[in-house]
């Protein structure tokens, strides 16, 4: 790709793909924008221009602030659990042991389970207050079983989602850990660093870049957690486990208010961008070390 001619040819050849991707992105976005300025309810075929009424309605809804808070709690909670837990597990899996290959394969398994399936398994087999495994364990030691989804809905969601994403974080951090030059650890050992100092002064800085990738990718997916909420708590009780995507869903598909839902969607896009900018400022510098 050095001459002007080949550069032009190159641009011409990638343009169909770029145009397709662009349309793929812009058509739904423009349609959503258009709907967000319309009074458009599926029960009422007549649509009319609404101005900012849909936005006003969505942003002044008390449920919106609760959902915003819940979204942030899910994202931050899951990130903390997966990054810290993933680092520790990676440290453990990095040790030579019998059946290493099988153990690593088993470890990644939760990531391949569909979100709806894993959430249902958690809901019915673990967290169910009468038949669940946790209830059984509680009864075994003589305490009252906890109604996880009823009393701690958000914590339960964070737990389920963390279980799904922990393998991802562990795997990325484990590969990063394996790329650490063993001579660096040995040098630190000779320099008198204890195991704890070696971890904090050598291993953690080495993991910074991989950790950044984990945080960025997970944030994108965690902002839009939906299936786990739908099949476990359905956003309840009340709005206790409703996040922004679930609120948009309720607005547009349970209340048939496409206009309000679209406005919520645009708000969610803007919020995601704010989070992205904030994150890039915060951890993005690790990427071009």
Partner 1 sequence: MGSITLKQVAKRFGDTEVIPPLNLTIEDGEFVVFVGPSGCGKSTLLRLIAGLEDVSDGVIEIDGNDATSLPPAKRGLAMVFQSYALYPHMTVRKNIAFPLKMAGLDQATIDAKVNGAAATLNLADYIDRRPGQLSGGQRQRVAIGRAIVREPSAFLFDEPLSNLDAALRGNMRLEISELHQTLATTMIYVTHDQVEAMTMADKIVVLRAGHIEQVGSPLDLYREPANLFVAGFIGSPSMNIISGPAAEAYGAPTIGVRPEHMDLSHEGGAWRGVVGVSEHLGSDTFLRVDVEGVGTLTARAGGEFPARHGDTVGLTPDPERLHRFDANGLRIAG
> Which residues form the interface with partner 1 (CB under 8 A)?
181, 183-184, 186-194, 197, 201-202, 205-206, 208, 289
Q: Which is nearer to partner 1, 200 or 278 (CB)?
A: 200
- Minimum Å gap between C-beta 182 and partner 1 is 9
> Which residues 6+ apart lie within 8 Å of 83 measured at CB?
169, 211, 214, 215
Q: Which is nearer to partner 1, 56 or 191 (CB)?
A: 191
- Minimum Å gap between C-beta 204 and partner 1 is 9
- Minimum Å gap between C-beta 9 and partner 1 is 37
Q: Which is nearer to partner 1, 44 or 191 (CB)?
A: 191
Which stretches of 52-139 are assigned E, i.e. beta strand? none
User: Cα dist. 49→10, 61, 100, 255, 269 in Å?
Assistant: 44, 21, 62, 19, 22
User: Cα dist. 128→4, 86, 122 in Å?
Assistant: 66, 27, 8
> Which residues 6+ apart lie within 8 Å of 25 measured at CB?
none
Q: Which is nearer to partner 1, 202 or 250 (CB)?
A: 202
Q: Which is nearer to partner 1, 46 or 289 (CB)?
A: 289
38 conformational bin, left if phi > 0, alpha if psi -120 to 50, beta if neither: beta
Residue 124 corresponds to which tokens in the numbers above? 């019915």
- Minimum Å gap between C-beta 191 and partner 1 is 4
- Minimum Å gap between C-beta 200 and partner 1 is 11
């Amino acid at each position: 790709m050095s001459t002007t001619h080949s550069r032009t040819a190159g641009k011409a050849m990638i343009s169909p793909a770029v145009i397709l991707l662009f349309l793929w992105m812009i058509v739904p976005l423009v349609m959503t924008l258009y709907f967000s300025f319309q009074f458009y309810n599926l029960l009422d075929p007549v649509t009319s221009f609404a101005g900012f009424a849909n936005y006003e309605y969505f942003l002044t809804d008390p449920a919106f602030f609760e959902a915003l808070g819940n979204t942030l709690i899910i994202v931050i909670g899951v990130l903390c659990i997966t990054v810290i837990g993933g680092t520790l597990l990676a440290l453990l899996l990095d040790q030579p042991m019998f059946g290493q290959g099988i153990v690593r394969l088993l470890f990644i398994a939760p990531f391949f389970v569909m979100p709806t399936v894993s959430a249902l398994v958690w809901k019915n087999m673990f967290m169910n207050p009468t038949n669940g495994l946790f209830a059984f364990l509680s009864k075994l030691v003589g305490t009252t079983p906890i109604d996880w989804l009823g009393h701690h809905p958000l914590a339960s969601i964070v737990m389920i989602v963390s279980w799904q994403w922990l393998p991802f974080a562990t795997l990325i951090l484990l590969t990063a850990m394996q790329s650490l030059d063993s001579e660096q650890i040995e040098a630190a050992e000779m320099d008198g660093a204890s195991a704890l100092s070696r971890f904090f002064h050598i291993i953690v800085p080495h993991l910074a870049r991989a950790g950044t990738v984990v945080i960025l990718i997970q944030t994108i997916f965690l902002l839009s957690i939906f299936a786990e909420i739908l099949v476990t708590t359905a956003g309840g009780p009340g709005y206790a486990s409703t996040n922004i995507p679930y609120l948009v869903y309720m607005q547009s598909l349970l209340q048939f208010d496409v206009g309000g839902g679209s406005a919520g969607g645009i708000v969610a896009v803007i919020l995601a961008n704010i989070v992205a900018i904030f994150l890039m400022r915060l951890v993005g510098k690790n990427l071009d070390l």
